Amino acid sequence: MLNTEVPLFREARYLLAEETEICDPSLYHSGPAAVADGNTTSGGITGYVGRKSNEIAHPLRVLEDSHLLVKERDLFRPNRSFYRVAEPLIKFYQAIMVREWARLERGDAATVWRGSRARFLSQVVGPHVEVLCREYALHADAEAGEVGRGVVPDPANRTQIKVDVAVLAPADHGRPRRVLSLGEVKWDRGMGTEHVARLRRARDLLTAKGYDTRDTVLTCYSGAGFTRELGAEPGSDVRLITLDDLYA
């Protein structure tokens, strides 16, 4: 994609230019750019773009209708949502290529790649693997009614716990919603007992909010493996998922 002699080099630009429903191209392009840069909420996108929320509402809907952005609700805070870039080509373009376009056109792809590799892993590969893990969870658990991500507020510690893969059972009217699994994803870092402790804290907080967590499994999805301590004795309520499991 960084090779100027390959048609794929400009394909993302062509895909964006094909959409004509927005009169302000800069506003239209800045939506995927904001999300690719890690601003996944409407408030984050608004701050990145520098416009008022009512000015970006329509562009965001058009981006959704064009299947360039996907809107996913927070499973634990239904009034909040996340956005992600649906087309990997555009995500790579916005996260890596836009800021280095002049250098890329000069043919200096090797230098651009050396300086962009860390951003590629964190902003492109990491979020993409999270999506793969959610797809895996949806098919791996026969009881799954809804799979997504969410944020669990932790007021006592003045923080929030991000849950990358949350699996809920189908809603049963009049009964607390069952949480089948809470998962964290690390693509390029090994996972240890501290990750399990964070998921266990999230489970306790959800219990206090009225969720049914009696059978909740704490799932660690890792592309780089697990510490010896965690691998030797993960615990009866902990499940470790590797890349081999994802692609089996």
59 is written with which tokens?
């562009």
**Which tops the pLDDT comparison, 37 or 194?**
194
41 plus 95 within the same structural domain: yes
Bridge partners of 178, per DSSP, are 212
This prediction has a pTM of: 0.90
What angle in degrees, to the nearest 10, is found between the helix axes of 42-49 and 25-36? 120
pLDDT average, residue stretch 111-127: 92
> Is residue 209 a part of any domain in this protein?
yes
3-state secondary structure (DSSP) of residue 205: helix
Mean pLDDT, residues 51-74 taken together = 88
Mean pLDDT of 132-149: 95
Domain boundary among 87, 107, 127: 107
* pLDDT value of residue 51: 84
Nearest to 180 by CA among 151, 232, 142: 142
| Assigned token pair, 198 | 């964070």
Do 202 and 143 share a structural domain?
Answer: yes
* Pair (96, 146) in one structural domain: no
Residues 6+ apart with CB under 8 A from 210: 176
pLDDT at 17: 75
Q: Are residues 231 and 167 in the same domain?
A: yes
Q: Domain of residue 61: give its range.
A: 7-107
Average pLDDT of span 63-86: 91
Given a contact cutoff of 8 angstroms between Cβ atoms, the answer to whether 169 and 177 are in contact is: yes
